[in-house]
Chain A
Amino acid sequence: MAASGRKAVSRKHREARGQDGTKVVLATTGEGPNKVVDRKLKGRMKREGALDREAAKNAAGVEFWLNTHDHGELAPENELEKTWRLKQEEVASLVEVGAASKRFDLKLEDHGPYACNYSRDGRWLLLGGKRGHLAMLDWQRHKVVCEVQVKEAVRDVCFLHNSVFFAAAQKKQVYVYDKRGIEVHCMKEHRDVEKLTFLPQHFLLASVGAQGILRYQDTSTGEIVAMHRTKLGPCKAMCRNPFNGVVLCGHAGGTITMWSPNMTVPLVKMLCHRGPVNSLAVDQSGRYLVTIGSDKQMKVWDVRTYKLLHAYFCSAPAKSVEISQRGLVGISWGSRVQVWKDALHVKAKAPYMNHQQDSGYIRQVSFCPYEDVLGIGHERGFSSILVPGAGEPNYDSFVANPYQTRKERREHEVHALLDKLQPDTIVLNPQAVGNLKLDPKEIVAQKKQEQRAAIQSRTTKQREKNEAKNKMKGKNKPTKRHRKKQMNVIRDQKEALQELVKRKDRDNRESKIGEDVPSSLKRFY
């Protein structure tokens, strides 16, 4: 029995072998062409499915050769060594000189506390001080690109589509500066903004603030795409989901809302905390949401099911949270920074790293993409600390290249504009683009239910008829008697039971596969 079960599973899954010899099992796409009636379409879908699988297989094959850099890590040599005891000085003393130079402090006593933002390739750093100090740095080369004193409060800063332009949320309005520090635009529609975020594929700048109004502005055409009243009061926490472009806002009542420019009401609204939500972050795969609240909790949510996965206790209400490319969670409260590893899909027992910043309270923590660095904007300036294993070691030159030349940057800008997505592609499931629209699940279930009920009523009617004895000629023929008997066999539960067995079978299968899979194949699980 077990053997036959295994056979059935192996028939349904295709095998692939990575270049390093690891065996990979590819799941079939499930609701595939089998359900399509049109024969031409069915054939086409089959071919395209095969192409997709082939591409994924090839990607898995070459991943080993392409990803030449290893990710950083902290490896304790015995059980007594704890990673969370390690101090920054020790880390810096144990790594190469080049890496150690990425740990530095900027003492900017009079202008803090600072908000910070790294560019998407991790090369540029933007600082915005509460007292009006704006600076853009080439931080790895320790060079200042531009510095402005705007003489009013800067609440948030954010890079636009490349390192040439950046937006700053100031006291009243949002301004756009170029990399020479010259004010390019003043966006008067964005009033009293607290948080800014930029959707690079859509060229949308989203802002939210004291008015509680979420505004989307297209930075390529300049028009306001959408303006949504959250109706939940002033909003101080916002982030974007990098997987689907949905913007998340955290509110004072403990709720968070998810927004797309196409809907005037939130796509999702969930109660996450007792008390205000202080900050929130979504990981790169778009699966996990981390929220921190004034109730001293850090909570991890599954964005697909909107269910709570884990809750962590902080000794004080945390102020800022950020998730790194490789899934490390950094949070800060007071002058303390904590980094958690493997805290999303399982519940971690202890923090990965601890750091005490002796320079006033921390306003914002921010992981640098493609580097093992965490930036801390605090009351007396900005500090950069080393967090091994935070960043993705292998960058893609066509996505974000830290060593981009000017010519490449210009070319990239043109391509990005050609591939610019319309705001209506912001939906909860971005893979739905180009799919055939089937009946919604509820309607399918309803139809099935109706069908079942009809069969049920027919059989019961027949049964009742059979029960009523009707002594007439021809009613006692052997065939008629047999048919009557068949009708009395009770099969009402059969379909439901069959479905149950099927579901159990599927669950069993799903629990077995999906470990040790290259990252390019993960979407099949």
Chain B
Amino acid sequence: MKVKVINRVEARETCERKGDLKQVRRNLNPELHPFERAIEYTRALNAAKLERVFAKPFVAALEGHTDGINCLARNPKRLNSLISGSASGELFLWDVPERRTIYNYVGHKRAVRAVTVSECGSLCFSCGDEGVVKMWRVPHAPLGGVTQTVDHTAVAEFTSDQVLRGIDHHYERSLFATAGEKVDVWDHERSTPVHSFVWGADSVESVRFNPVESDIFTSCGNDRSIALYDIRSGTPLHKLVMQTKTNSIAWNPIEAFNFTCANEDCCLYTYDMRRLDIAKNVHKDHVSAVLDVDYSPTGREFVSGSYDRSIRIFKYDGGHSRDVYHTKRMQRVFGVRYSGDGSYVFSASDDMNVRIWKAKASQKMGTLLPREKSKQSYNAALVKRYGHMPEIKRITRHRHLPKSIYKTKQLRTTVMESERKKQRNRIKHSAPGSIQPKPQRKKKIVTRLE
């Protein structure tokens, strides 16, 4: 008879000598790991709770302006600099990590409406109510070097005969476009516009260049239109008229044929520039006019600021916002920008403050240890996997809203519900097929012009 019995030698199972690493043994037999699903679910629930516990998105406020801030621009070449312009004509260059102004650009006598930084990152252009574009020099933001703010005057001026509302710089060449009564394209070297585009009589609100197909740009104006232009052909391409005015446009930097526009009707619309007859997506959640929008450099998310005193972060294909940020002191938000690394969000509001927020509310900033990193990704995966469970869904979806937004939201839901009900009844009591309900994505489009 052969007999074999389990006989472990303790020294071999633990550590033979004192300095040795302890042995870890695994047995993946599922019978030794009962309640696998239930344990995972419990962990997912804890992870969801922790995520909300650590959700502290507000990082800092940059104070210094003496009037409401109208515009924001970030430097495409540097992570640490931000430019903001206010209604009193101030234009500040901020060192973001130090949270102070480096340069005070002196020269605007009336409100600054828009600001942009050139593709090289060493020049910036601002325009305002006095109808002059001013070119300024942008230094490297010193890291903890200079302590006092330096006044700076404009390097060059470009005089236009109109009130300017928007400006944006070309991504590859030394060109920039301004929006006023017409859309002008300027060269750094010339005092008169290179191109002028006129389509319709009304004034234009803002312009944005395409980051990839860089000669194409869009504008939106008071005549409720969104227009596409090509510098190479020197003509406007398409025009889309919606029911309400569009305030701002942002191109998706990764899928550069898609752009999102912030509309007066509380929604954002994502369009494919090749198919303007239907929106790709309608992003709802704001309860007042959306004033500005900006994409994350990853192209997967964008941030929007609204007249309802909140900023929201949407997934590029999400119908509702992923997160909402607000504080008691933050007023109407006129400008929002993502930081160059996609981990922060800046907002400029009427209360004379630029605010810095984390893009992911519960993210721990700074260098993570490998174990922390793996734990966090494990938690994220768990929440994603069990996100459909009612308990977890409730926790992850819950956001506290200020009373004004909460009440308005309720009111809007009631209005929309009654409209829907009316439409349903209308269809029910009409001849079959006589009423064709229009899809949500087409509803707001009035016409498309070539």
Contact = CB atoms under 8 A, between A and B. Distances in A.
B37 interface: yes
A520 B389 CA distance: 27
A69 interface: yes
A70 B3 CA distance: 12
Interface string B8-38: 1110011000000011111111111111011
Contacts of B35: 201, 244-245, 421, 425, 430
Nearest to A60: B28
B147 interface: no
Given A419-B43, A434-B37, A66 B28 contact: yes
B2 A391 contact: no
A388 interface: yes
B1 A76 contact: yes
A520 B32 contact: no
Interface string A487-525: 000000000000000000000000000000001101100
A372 B5 CA distance: 6
Interface residues of B, number: 38
Q: Which residue, B24, B29, B43, has most C-beta atoms of chain A within 10 A?
A: B29
Interface stretch (A106-114, A295-303, A312-320, A396-404): A396-404
B385 interface: yes
Chain B's interface: helix, strand, loop or mixed, by majority?
A: loop
A396 B31 CA distance: 11
Given A70-B4, A243-B34, A394 B41 contact: no
A258 interface: no
B385 A425 contact: no
A370 interface: yes
A410 to B, nearest CB: 15
Interface string B236-279: 00000000000000000000000000000000000000000000
A434 B386 contact: yes
Interface stretch (A88-96, A226-234, A334-342): A88-96
B380 interface: no
A421 B42 contact: yes
Contacts of B9: 98
B430 interface: no
B39 interface: yes
Contact of A95 (B3, B10, B13): B3
Contacts of B27: 66-67, 392, 394-396, 399
Contacts of A405: 22
A156 interface: no
Given A431-B37, A433-B38, A397 B26 contact: yes
Given A66-B28, A519-B31, A430 B6 contact: no
B32 A388 contact: no
B235 interface: no
Contacts of B148: none
A19 interface: no
B46 interface: yes
Contacts of A523: 30
A403 B26 contact: no
B7 interface: yes
B37 A71 contact: no
A72 B46 contact: no
B385 A99 contact: no
A243 B433 CA distance: 58
Contacts of B385: 48, 434
B371 to A, nearest CB: 13
A430 B13 contact: no
Contacts of B13: 402-403
B25 A394 contact: yes
Contacts of B4: 70-75, 95, 388
A403 B111 CA distance: 74
Contacts of A95: 3-5, 7
A10 interface: no
A81 B1 CA distance: 7
Interface in A8-40: none
B386 to A, nearest CB: 5
Interface string A180-206: 000000000000000000000100000
Given A91-B3, A99-B5, A396-B27, A420 B37 contact: no
Interface string A57-73: 00100110011011111
Contacts of B43: 418-419
Nearest to B2: A75
Given A421-B39, A520-B28, 8 more contacts: A59-B28, A86-B1, A244-B35, A394-B25, A395-B25, A403-B10, A425-B42, A520-B30
Interface of A: 48, 59, 62-63, 66-67, 69-77, 81, 83, 86, 90-91, 94-96, 98-99, 102, 201, 242-245, 284-286, 370-372, 386, 388, 391-399, 401-403, 405, 418-422, 425, 430-434, 436, 519-520, 522-523
Q: Ordered nearest first, which 8 A-B pairs have the shortest CB separation?
A: A99-B7, A425-B38, A94-B3, A75-B2, A99-B5, A396-B27, A433-B37, A59-B28
